[in-house]
Structure 1
Amino acid sequence: MKTGINPSDLAGKKPLNFGKWISNVILTLSTLFFIFPFYWIITGAFKKQTTATAIPPEWFPVHPTLQNWSDLFKNAVWRWTFNSFFISFCEMAAVCLVAALAGYVLAKKSFPGRKIIFTMFVAAMALPKQVILVPLFTMLADFGWVNTYRGLILPAIGWPFGVFLMKQFSQTIPAEVIEASKIDGCSEVRMFSTIILPLLTPALGALAIFTFIGSWNDYFSQLIMTRSTSMMTLPMGIATLQGEYTTNYGVMMAGAALASVPMIAIFLTFQKAFTQGITMGAVKG
């Protein structure tokens, strides 16, 4: 009769990793914590006014209603949505193009003052937008660009963070690729458009997400630069639904849910490029 444990029986068994188990629990709880506000907005969009503000809260709409959505679309929601899409998309495209050009030049071209210019871009990242808002508004007013698409889009094109991100990522491009394209007779324009831009795709995806979401949620600048209802963006329009004495929170939650859909769609579209851009572009100094 044999006693004890055969070592071969334990060969295929792995010891319990408590550290990994605790990490999974923490990550799961953190995920639920950050998802809960979005869940509350979605469910609140289908609740009646009395239910949306009830104490104790109703965690799931027992009697869902579409009245909030009907009341929401009685306003100029489609115009606000178009403004938000147009402004955010134009800013995203312009910032990605300008930042890619500037970042590539700062990373791969040698010229006097290159380091000073890059230092100025890095220093500008620490400057709050509110500091330059008054002189910026004065300048746009002199141009006659207040309450126009130009006044909302053009000031955001030279985003310092975009130049910084693209410069860091451009440093990962091998110099041999650039030299080989020059030997083959590529012009600077053709080399940048056919060789450099495809290599910058991961960083451009990350920058596109940052720019679109930042522009979509830039309530403060849009509040200062707009004057008419027809120029309002979706976040601004939703804010106007709040009354002075009473507020229909169900309608506001419906508007917030509608405003969150484009940001989620943009993130899911560029998610892979976003992850690659952040992890690869951050390893070069």
Structure 2
Amino acid sequence: MMFFSKITGSRPRPLSSGTNLRKKTPSIPSLLANLLLIFLALLFLFPFYWIVTGAFKVQNVAVAIPPQWFPEEPTLDNFRALFKNPVWRWGFNSFFVASSEMIGVCLTASMAGYVLAKKMFPGRKFIFILFVSAMALPKQVILVPLFTMLADLNWIDTYKGLILPAIGWPFGVFLMKQFAQTIPSELMEAAKIDGCSEIRLFATIILPLLKPALGALAIFTFINAWNDYFSQLIITRSTPMMTLPLGLATLQGEYTTPYGVLMAGAALASLPMITIFLLFQKAFTQGITMGAVKG
């Protein structure tokens, strides 16, 4: 210690063991908050656990009271009964419709949101008010005129009728417009001075900056399209055009309900949504500066 002080010209400060201990010891509010979060996580995960375990139970065990929390004699009979139906066709329809809506909504909403946020033209505020007002309308209100229009176009029981009406989602335009407002206008002006065209500006600068909002919108759109039972029920007619939620609903009988088969189908139907969420979850934590020029 004496040698150290002679070389450096300063006296070493003693280590404060009490301070280190206080930093490592979590406080009681922090522990309570963590326990609450763990409890809520288990509470929200329990329905998924019940569906997955119920898919391996026979009918009398699935409806037994008190319930059997874990299948003591797991079986694959529910999956065998499920795949006697055109499940792969239903799954393809759901995935194709949801993916197409996700891509279409992200593309159109990003362009519309960028224009409404950064372009000055007459009626811009009025158009945005129309989009916000459309968000307040329930889907059931516009379903009758929508069905009439699709029938006139011969789009009933087609992929076009399932996909195209959902492309102009007002919520998507609202989300992208609010996010695009935070993009610095100086960045776009610098790109235009360098000779960047409008299309290249949108593709190479605006879209990378909108990536966090696009990731969130992609998740919302895919889940909304995958679970859109009501609209798909009205538009589809034939069994080959049914989506997975519609097809699973047809398995329910008039007097009996095969709960094990339905849970097996619900477990399979949840896999694409979980996959999409895992693919786009990082976009929630990315900053606005992604894709910007580093100075």
TM-score (norm 1): 0.92
- Other-structure match for 1:11: 19
1:258 to 1:148, Cα distance in 2 relative to 1, 3 A: same
80, 91, 97: which one pairs with 1:81?
91
Q: Which has the larger radius of gyration?
A: 2
Q: 1:96 aligns with which of 106, 118, 121?
A: 106
> Match for 1:13: what amino acid?
L
* Alignment check: 8 A CA contact 1:107 1:167 kept: yes
Q: 4+ residue stretches of structure 1 with deviation over 2 A?
A: 7-13, 274-278
> Contact conserved, 1:201 with 1:273, CA < 8 A, in 2?
yes
Q: Which amino acid aligns with 1:129?
A: K
* 1:237-256 to 2 correspondences below 5 Å: 237-256=247-266
How far residue 148 of structure 1 moved from its aligned partner, in angstroms, is 0.7
Q: 1-side partners of 2:83 and 2:137: how far apart?
A: 39
Q: Could you say which residue in structure 2 is the equivalent of 1:48? A: 58
Q: Distance in 1 between matches of 2:109 and 2:220?
A: 13
Q: TM-score scaled by structure 2?
A: 0.89
Cα separation, 1, equivalents of 2:110 and 2:250? 37
Following superposition, the deviation at residue 12 of structure 1 comes to 2.6
**Aligned equivalent of 1:258, options 268, 282, 295:** 268
Match of 1:272 in 2: 282
Q: Deviations over 1:113-150 (max 9, x none)?
A: 11111111111111111111111111111111111111
The aligned residue for residue 26 of structure 1 is 36
Q: Measured at CA, do residues 176 and 9 of structure 1 come closer, stay the same or move farther in structure 2, by a change above 3 Å?
A: closer
Spell out, residue by residue over 1:99-126, the C-alpha distance to the aligned partner (whole angstroms, 9 max, x if none).
0000000010000111111111111111
Which residue identity is paired with 2:21? K
Taking the TM superposition and a 5 Å limit, the aligned residue runs for 1:64-213 are: 64-213=74-223
The alpha-carbon deviation at position 8 of structure 1 amounts to 5.5
Counterpart residue number, 1:283? none
Instruction: Say if 2:44 is the partner of 1:37.
Output: no
After TM superposition, give the deviation of residue 275 of structure 1 in Å.
Answer: 4.3
C-alpha distance in 2 between matches for 1:97 and 1:248:
41
Which consecutive residues of structure 1, in runs of 5 or more, have no partner in the other structure? 1-6, 281-285
SS at match of 1:11: helix
Match for 2:18: what amino acid? Answer: L
Alpha-carbon distance, 1:274 to partner? 3.2
Q: Distance in 2 between matches of 1:70 and 1:131?
A: 40
CA distance 1:9–1:154, change in 2 (3 Å) = closer
The gaps in structure 2 that reach 5 residues or longer are: 1-14, 291-295
**Closer, same or farther: CA 130–276 of 1 in aligned 2, 3 Å:** farther
1:231 and 1:160 map into 2 onto residues whose CA distance is 26
One-letter identity of the residue aligned with 2:181: Q
CA distance in 2, matches of 1:9, 1:46: 55
| 1:187 CA drift (Å) | 1.1
> How many residues end up aligned between the 2 structures?
273
Secondary structure of the residue aligned to 1:74 is coil
Between the two proteins, what is the percent identity of the paired residues?
72
2:228 aligns with 218
Aligned partners of 2:66 and 2:211: how far apart in 1?
49
Contact 1:41 1:253 in 2 (8 A): yes
CA distance in 2, matches of 1:34, 1:221: 27
